Structure 1
Amino acid sequence: MDDFRDAAEPIDEIELAVEGALRPASLAEFVGQQKVRGQLQLLLDAARMQQRPPDHILLSGPPGLGKTTLAMIVAHESGRALRLSSGPAIQHAGDLAALLSSLTPGEVLFIDEVHRMARAAEEMLYLAMEDFRIDIMVGKGAGATSIPLDLAPFTLVGATTRSGLLPNPLRDRFGFTAHLEYYEPHELERVVERSASMLGVRMPAAARAEIGRRSRGTPRIANRLLRRVRDYALVHGAGTEADIETVDAALDLYDVDRIGLDRLDRAVLDALIRRFRGGPVGLSTLAVSVGEEAETIESVVEPYLVRIGFMGRTPRGRIATPEAFAHLGMGVSEAVLGFDDL
């Protein structure tokens, strides 16, 4: 089955094209994150009035909440070109030097997962962000010399899902830092309404709300679920109409339950409860029990289960809460007895 989150399967080019078409082009079109939108609007308006590039911007938060979209909006509303890169692609200082030296005046440079840049590149970025200059080392050993290279003024927009991994010297050089929060269901309903209109899908409010409830607080997931509902309606003869029954049937087919849990979420909870009596159990042991990588469990499954109160993290390991037992239709005593009977 499809995984609607961010760590399992690569997105094909068609999916990326559709996601790109659904992105809002301005802050006025951007749904949710009201406080961040207001702060960004002030920053952009002030830069426009002073005829200078906006300050460097750091956007942090879980995947799928709109960090890349906001970077595109910053460039669009500033009337500047946008250059896209990512931290894992910048593994040498030379990679960063080549990127920075090719920027045009006022250009917006977006670096996704900025915390994953190589340390040497990070240190070069300090000077570039502060003084729009880099020092290039030529030669080796005693004969090495440093050649300063002036850069065109630019705006760096960095995105990170793990802001705690950013070194303080880099974090301090951003003029504005924003943390994006998970969306409420009513906000996701507005996201679905806008995207459905762009995709030519007619949906009643109840159907839009149902997708919003099952989208884990994430617009990217809401848009993907919407596209699967559209596909289901098309294949089963409903055309561009998608009512609540169509939404239920489509999402049941893709193993997305009423609160947004999918196959892997339920497998983790089932293992935690049925095999380990609700825990505590170590992350690596839990990952092996469901046949997944520990990093996938930690970065993809855990955050949502912890946020909705189904899982807890303790010094001794992961535990299932009473709410998780109830969701799987079990009492705590039933799980313990079932384990002892094995």
Structure 2
Amino acid sequence: MPPAPAADGFSSEMYEDSSVDATARVVDAGSDGDERTVEAALRPRRLSEFPGQPRVRDQLALVLEAAKRRGSPPDHVLLSGPPGLGKTTLAMIVAAELEKPIRVTSGPAIQHAGDLAAVLSSLMEGEVLFLDEIHRMSRAAEEMLYLAMEDFRVDVIVGKGPGATAIPLELPPFTVVGATTRAGLLPAPLRDRFGFTGHLDFYATHDLVRILHRSARLLEVDADEAGIGEIARRSRGTPRIANRLLRRVRDWAQVHGRSVVDQDAAHAALALFDVDDRGLDRLDRAVLEALCRRFRGGPVGLGTLAVAVGEEAETVETVAEPFLVREGFMVRTPRGRAATGLAWQHLGLTPPPGTDPMLTPLPFDGGEGRLGS
């Protein structure tokens, strides 16, 4: 099948197992296209262009450079961290730096050992296999991956019962790049087979400013320093969110006849999209409102809190809670979730008498927040 443009902005060849052989190509970010194509166009292509994460970037650069000098594939790479911080981008950069093709698939797509065997048996020497959400692979596929990563072979089972035969299949050397948002769910035998593990942290505000300046240039958006800074401060330390907010502010400016994305435009647009000056969105504020107004600051159980805001418990736990806890608006206690003094202060409310003194308001630094410190 000839290569065809992929929705994520990479030239790709589709395989029978639904994995993709993706090669980076230049995308005109200013042209019409869907959101995913524009998002892919904003991704840096080389480590030297990758902003933030200096420790992971420098460590990974050393691993790749040493492998290129040896003329052999590098050790397998595991990237962990919250969504939107650049794990997929780094996987694409690994392939670009090695000048090798990359095969893209995901853990949920590999539910049987045969699915993984089909992917592995078609790899070329030096190819990069990117497994997104690797912690969601089935146990049978994980056990096959152990052997493939360590000995570069798989055992294909033919037949069933006592008459079953294992046929060893030798594989060319390749590199697995695994990405996970929940590294603790990876079994130790799989985690130990990665020669390099990098954890991506949330970005400081000044790094997001650099990212937004580059994105504005690619999107042909005229934005001043104040407007870029305002968007960066409300982006929760996450480049994906920063780029999305930049596009929404751009849309607002175009519709309202504003030629420059300035601080006033950013304020108005982000208010329209329910993103406040600390980066809290509708769900975040609904959680805090429920905690403070309905449950007097808590503690309250996750299930009860989820019912109060009309969301699934998993949504509250994985989408809203990490940011609220990290920024000091909420704490997790043995008896449930509780609002801190900062949450009461942010909502403009007064804590009721008898509030835990450990949950007193924290000083606010005027806009940078903990992400910028």
TM-score category by the smaller chain? over 0.9
* Corresponding position of 2:214: 194
- TM normalised by structure 1 equals 0.93
Percent identity at matched positions? 68
Q: Are the aligned partners of 1:273 and 1:335 in contact in 2 as well (CA < 8 Å)?
A: no
Which of 170, 183, 192 is equivalent to 1:163?
Answer: 183
Bigger drift between 219-228 and 290-299 goes to 290-299
Structure 2 residue 108 is the aligned partner of structure 1 residue 85: no
Task: Show the counterpart of 1:261.
Answer: 280
Matched, 1:311 2:346: no
Q: Which residue of structure 2 aligns with residue 118 of structure 1?
A: 138
Deviation by residue 1:1-27 (Cα, 9 ceiling, x = unmatched) = xxxxxxxxxxxx711101100000001
Residue aligned with 2:92, SS: helix
- Cα deviation, 1:251-275, whole Å, max 9, x if unaligned, reads 0000000010011100011001111
With structure 2 as the length reference, what TM-score do the two structures score?
0.85
Deviations 1:8-56 (A, max 9, x none): xxxxx71110110000000111110001000010001000000001110
Q: Flag structure 2 segments of 5+ consecutive residues without an equivalent.
A: 1-32, 356-373
Highest relative contact order (Cα 8 Å, sep 6+), 1 or 2? Answer: 1
Judge conservation of contact 2:296–2:352 (CA < 8 Å) in 1.
no
Matching of residue 67 in structure 1 with residue 84 in structure 2: no
**C-alpha distance after superposition, 1:63-115 (max 9, x if no partner):** 00000000000000000001111111111101100011111111101011100
Gaps of 5+ in 1: 1-12, 337-342
- How much does 1:335 deviate? 11
Query: Secondary structure of the residue that 1:270 maps to in structure 2?
Result: helix
Whole-angstrom distance in 2 between the partners of 1:320 and 1:308? 12
Q: Is the 8 A contact 2:252 2:265 kept in 1?
A: yes
2:187 pairs with 1:150: no
The whole-number CA distance in structure 1 between the counterparts of 2:245 and 2:285 is 18
1:334, distance to aligned residue in structure 2 (A)? 7.7
- Is the counterpart of residue 245 in structure 1 residue 264 in structure 2? yes
Which of these residues, 126, 132, 135, is aligned with residue 106 of structure 1? 126
- Over aligned residue pairs, what C-alpha RMSD do you find? 1.2
Cα separation, 1, equivalents of 2:226 and 2:265: 11
- 1:330 paired with 2:352, answer no
CA distance in 2, matches of 1:254, 1:18: 20
Q: Structure 2 vs 1, CA of residues 334 and 246 (structure 1 numbering), >3 Å: closer, same or farther? A: farther
Where is the helix percentage greater, Structure 1 or Structure 2? 1
Dislocated runs of 4+, deviation >3 Å: none
Between the aligned partners of 1:175 and 1:92, the Cα distance in structure 2 is: 25
Amino acid at match of 2:351: V
- What does the per-residue CA deviation read over 1:184-242, in whole Å, with 9 as the maximum and x for residues that have no partner? 11111111111001111111111111111000000000000000011111111114x21
Distance in 2 (CA, whole Å) between partners of 1:58 and 1:277 is 43
Q: Partners in 2 of 1:332 and 1:306 — Cα distance?
A: 18
